[in-house]
Amino acid sequence: MIVVDANVLAYSIIEGTLTPLALEVRQRDPHWRLPGIWRHEILNIFTTYVRQGGLSKEKAVKALEDVYAHLIPHEVELGPIETLEMALHHKISAYDAQYVLLARKLGVPCVTEDRALRHAAPQLTVSMEGFARQK
């Protein structure tokens, strides 16, 4: 089991240069957990891709339906106070704090390509490549 942030999730769905690595992460550990904020973040990512012409509206709708159906049962709600405390402790956004807080609570890594987040919470985070290459 691992925590993945919304960008890793997006890389696994929307074809791009990081898709093979995101799929390798999924193959290595398909038991992804996410905080509730992921739904809003992935929706924003898909909206941006459609607006920029990187994805059709129809494909975005289908992908969102699929990913919501698959991952909503695996999301974990976190309390606002503990999220605030994590955000303040690591000097990160409350959005990012939810991912590392969930990783800490579950005792698993948070896989992210967010360098600033990995720098702020190195003991709780790992890059996709770092995770895929672990023994």
In a structure prediction context, what are the per-residue pLDDT tens digits for the chain, which is 135 residues long?
A: 999 999 999 999 999 999 999 999 999 999 999 999 999 999 999 999 999 999 999 999 999 999 999 999 999 999 999 999 999 999 999 999 999 999 999 999 999 999 999 999 999 999 999 999 986
What is the domain partition of the chain in residue ranges? 2-133
What's the CATH superfamily of 2-133?
A: 5'-nuclease (3.40.50.1010)
Give, to the nearest 10 degrees, the angle between helix 38-51 and helix 6-13.
50
**Distance in angstroms (rounded) separating the CA atoms of residues 135 and 131:** 9
Instruction: Give which of 22, 17, 3, 11 is closest to 117, Cα–Cα.
Output: 3
